Chains A and B, each alone.
Chain A
Amino acid sequence: MGREFLEGNEAIARGAMKARCDFFAGYPITPASSILHYMLELVPAIGGTAIQAEDEIASIGFCIGAAMAGRKAMTATSGPGISLYSENIGLAQIGETPLVIVNVQRQGPATGSATKGAEGDIQFTRWVTSGGLPVIALSPATVGEAYELTYRAFNLAEQYRSPVFVLTSKEIGVTRESVDLDAIELPPLVERKRVGDDEEYLPHRFDRPADVPAMSDFGGAHIARYTTSTHDQAAYLTAKPAVIQEMIDHYTAKIDAVADDIALVKRDFQESAETLIISYGITSRSAAVAVREARARGARVSSLVLQTLWPVPQRAILAALDGIRRVIVPEMNMGQYRLEIERLAPTGVAVIGVNKMNTTLISPAEIQRTGGLL
């Protein structure tokens, strides 16, 4: 395709199509609406279905139904819509449904500023629904990464039978950039494991907790079962504490056990640096400038950019913290991911938040000033 001038929302739609997404349902919301528009144009063209639902609850409900019938499904919204998705996200967890959920974050809480950016849904994504089970969330920083990480989100959703979030923001979603999507290297496409037609089928079969059960599409060779209620491997209601715990351990282990394997981070380390900036999303681009400017003045500073936010890329963070005395965590919220860094940082390491939530980007100068790099 070559070089194009695209907004992040279009890149998300293109990434989804590259991953052969064939079902989309969404409800209009600024600044995510254009994903709905792009998908309405792209999905039917490959024989799939894209539909504007009556609300966000129906959007994700349609997607869960379609995903269990074998479709690769995606929905997209902004913070207010995620609130309405919440209960169904729990359903996708307990039912082990592959599903990609895009959150084009905007300034909240509540209606907030519809057309203004923020990255205020970071811990909300982690604790989005009742029960507190782990989620997978990827956070792009550029239009190109919006394409790549959406594609990867489908792979993760299929591989781990899990809802996977693409956490972008107004600042990426509706900002246009020059980009060549074809030049972005992508891993091979992953499709869900399916039970052979002649094999016996249990909807949630696993031997070890971290195993991901093979699926069978509704309408396929097996009689399929799915339930929102606490159930056993056969998807039959259960009240047996031992079985219930076994299932919860399974949902937890299949994500947590692979946290380090699926961790996507970008490292820019400097020899003997004692200061590290840990950033993600649009703010990581301000961090990149801050690092360049600080180094130009002779400061020694390293940078770790997180593309995977959940599960926490713990090993990568701990390795980056080696020899570090000060960590700067700039975020367009009041310090949400800093909690994770504080949890991991060894005693004696100062963790400094650079936080702003006034709808404007955190500037490279603000990072350097608050972070003590000036």
Chain B
Amino acid sequence: MSTTGAPATPCASYMTDKLGPLPFCPGCGHHVVAKALDQALVKLQLDPHKVVIVTDIGCIGLSDRYFTTNAFHGLHGRAVTYACGLKLARPELTVIALMGDGGCGIGGTHVLNVARRNIGITLIVANNFNYGMTGGQHSVTTPSAGITSTTPWGNVEGPMDLCGTTIAAGAAWVARCTMFDKDLADVMAQALAQPGFALLDVWELCTAYYAPRNRMKKKELDDLLASDGLRLGVLADTPRPEYSARYRAAYETGRAASKRRPAIEVQHGNSVPRQTGIIIAGSAGQKIRSTAALFAQAGMFSGLEATQKDDYPITVMTGHSLAELIFSRQRIDYTAIEAPDYLLVISEDGLISSHDRLQRLPDTCTVYAEQSLDLPVTKARVVRCPIAQAAAQAGRRSVAVIAVAAMLQDTGLFPLDAFARAISTFQEANIAEANLKALKAGAALVSDRLSAD
């Protein structure tokens, strides 16, 4: 129960007879469960506007409309998900999910996860060991050897102990009752009053199918409990903070930490004549993607439009890492690069992933390659640089910055200052410092080479 106000005048009942009597078969345990829920609500005197009964598919799902509270009847097995959505949206609501044992099978993951998360809803399972609505098929709680329409020679599957399972999943409060328990409504009220998740497993008779097929009455129900070594009553009562409260506390901390990204104003010029495609081919861990983004933003500081597409294996820490950049003074429409103007090959992985492309490159392309790599024959102009050697000095994680700086120095597409600006603007101070040094080292590779030529 959350901090809900009591109704203005005391509620003598939360059920209506406007729709006639409950639609269940004579003797069905669902009558008992529905009435016990009414009595529990009366006992707690909750404002009906602040109570939502969420029902699942199955006979018990017919009951919500007989209540004067809010009612939500959803898909089979998913009642818990709507209940969680309602509770997360409005933590002040008392949200009750009413399901059968069938729903606990198809929606088992939701039952485990709500227990684990401790979202403050109450799950009441009207557990009659079979699917009453569809012809008495076996469910996850059908006892061993139980006769159902799908286990005509006796159930060869073992039953799931709902209480034990949810306790193992971390449920804060769990109880088991039978439809014959005199204190069923009291236990139900106790369940509703829990601030965290509560499960109440109510064992009952399906008088249409399971009970007659298995000659089950009160005594046999009690015997079944005994033979399975199962207890009745409250089986877990280990309160811990409800999800919403923990969520708010965690994200209050997070909110303080998040900050906004600065906008990019044009600060530099450029000499990019037309749409220009650049591919950076390296390895995972070489900061290819983040360096490409800095490079793109440097282009934006220089008055260019930019796009970036990345390619890398789904296991991100290994293999190649490729970034495709396009710069243009105009809007960029087609974002694929068929023949790049510049290709930066930084590592063996980068070489392998661009090997075929290298062989197809036209002579209008310039390749900047780490000098130790064994490049295939290509028509492109090739500039070999000791990128790895420079990175050994400037820092391995700056290798892509070195390559880009060398390329910028050689091409003069836009000033190195723009690249430095992007690094200083978007990177943490200590990383920026290392990368600015690497930028100088990269530029020097080309100036040195040119002076050597």
A pairs with B: yes
- Residue numbers of A with Cβ under 8 A of B are 1-5, 23, 25, 30, 41, 44-45, 49, 51, 53-55, 57-58, 60-71, 73, 87-88, 91, 114-115, 171, 174-178, 217-229, 236-237, 282, 285-286, 288-289, 360-361, 363-364
- Chain A CB within 8 A of B89 CB: yes
The distance from the CB of A373 to the nearest CB of chain B, in whole angstroms, is: 15
**Residues of B contacting A114 in the complex (Cβ-Cβ under 8 angstroms):** 314
B48 partner residues in chain A, CB cutoff 8 A: 223
**Given the complex, which residues of A lie within 8 Å of B65, measured CB to CB?**
225, 236-237
B residues 68-123 near A (Cβ < 8 Å) are 68-75, 78, 80-90, 92-93, 109-110, 112-113
CB pair A49–B293 under 8 Å, yes or no, is no
Chain A: minimal CB distance from B17 (Å): 15
Bound-state CA distance A224–B52 (Å) is 9
Contact for B82 among A45, A65, A222, CB less than 8 A: A65
* Least Cβ–Cβ distance between A364 and chain B, in angstroms: 6
Interface flag for B219 (CB, 8 Å) = no
Q: For chain B residues 284-309, which have a beta carbon within 8 Å of chain A?
A: 293, 296-297, 299-300, 304-309
CA distance A175 to B326 in the complex (A): 11
Chain B: which residue is nearest A236 at the CB level?
Answer: B65
Decide: B332 and A177 in contact? CB cutoff 8 A.
yes
- Of the stretches B27-35, B259-267, B433-441, the one at the interface is B259-267
Partner of B333, one of A54, A64, A288: A288
Complex interface: stretch among B156-164, B193-201, B334-342, B362-370: B334-342
A-side contacts of B305, CB under 8 Å: 177-178
Q: Is the CB of B334 within 8 A of A286?
A: yes
Q: Are A5 and B293 in contact (CB under 8 A)?
A: yes
CB-nearest residue of chain B to A227:
B73
- When distances are taken between beta carbons in the complex, the residues of chain B under 8 Å from A23 are 85, 88-89
Are A58 and B109 touching (Cβ within 8 A)? yes
Cβ distance B9 to chain A, nearest Cβ, rounded Å: 16
A189 to B209, CA, bound (A): 54
B247 within 8 A of A: yes
Q: How far is the CA of A226 from the CA of B65 in the complex (A)?
A: 10
A4 lies within 8 A of B263 (CB): yes
Chain B residue contacts of A73, Cβ below 8 A: 85
Chain B min CB distance to A198 (Å): 14
CA distance A185 to B83 in the complex (A): 38
For B324, the closest partner residue in chain A by CB is A175
Please name all residues of chain A whose beta carbon is closer than 8 Å to the beta carbon of B71 when the two chains form the complex.
Answer: 224-227
B242 → A minimal CB distance (Å): 13
Q: Is A175 in contact with B72, judged by CB distance below 8 angstroms?
A: no
Return chain B residues, CB-CB under 8 Å to A115.
311-312, 314
| CB pair B109 A175 closer than 8 Å | no
**Would you call B251 an interface residue if the criterion is a C-beta within 8 Å of the partner chain's C-beta atoms?**
yes
Query: Of B113, B258, B297, which contacts A5 at CB under 8 A?
Result: B297
How many inter-chain residue pairs (CB < 8 Å) link A and B? 204
Main secondary structure of the interface of B (DSSP, over half): mixed
B300:A178 contact, CB within 8 angstroms: yes
Q: Cβ of A221 and Cβ of B85 under 8 Å apart?
A: no
> Which of A54, A176, A220, A363 interacts with B293 by CB under 8 Å?
A176
Closest B residue, CB atoms, query A63: B85
- Is the Cβ of B49 less than 8 Å from the Cβ of A219? yes
Query: Hey, which chain B residues are within 8 Å of A65, CB to CB?
Result: 54, 72, 81-89
A sample of 22 inter-chain contacts (CB < 8 A) reads: A3-B264, A4-B264, A5-B306, A5-B308, A30-B314, A44-B247, A44-B251, A45-B254, A45-B258, A51-B247, A53-B81, A54-B112, A65-B89, A69-B85, A70-B90, A71-B89, A175-B308, A218-B72, A225-B70, A237-B65, A285-B334, A363-B338
Q: Are B85 and A64 in contact (CB under 8 A)?
A: yes
Q: Does B296 lie within 8 Å of A176, measured CB to CB?
A: yes
Whether B113 lies near A175 (C-beta < 8 A) is no
Give the shortest distance, in Å, between B236 (CB) and chain A (any CB).
21
* Interface residue? B182 (CB, 8 A): no
- B 252-280 binary contact with A (CB < 8 Å = 1; else 0): 00110010110111000000000000000
A91 nearest in chain B by CB position: B75
The distance in angstroms between the C-alpha atoms of A339 and B135, with both chains bound, is 43
B396 CB–A CB distance under 8 Å: no
- CB pair A178–B73 under 8 Å, yes or no, is no
- B72: min CB distance to chain A, Å: 5
**Given contacts A64-B85, A218-B52, is CB(A55)–CB(B247) below 8 Å?**
no
**Among candidates B19, B93, B307, residue contacting A175 with C-beta atoms closer than 8 Å:** B307
Asked if B93 and A58 make an inter-chain contact with CB atoms under 8 angstroms apart, the answer reads: no
Q: Report if B356 contacts A (CB, 8 A).
A: no
Query: In the complex the two chains form, what is the Cα distance from A361 to B265 in whole Å?
Result: 31
Q: A49-B88, A171-B335 are in contact. Are A91 and B110 (CB under 8 A)?
A: no
Residue numbers in B under 8 Å from A282 (CB-CB): 335
- Rank and list the top 7 A-B pairs by shortest CB-CB distance, nearest first: A65-B85, A61-B81, A2-B263, A44-B251, A69-B89, A65-B82, A66-B89
Q: Of A5, A64, A67, A220, which contacts B264 at CB under 8 A?
A: A5
Any A CB within 8 A of the CB of B237:
no
A65, B83: Cα distance in complex, Å = 7
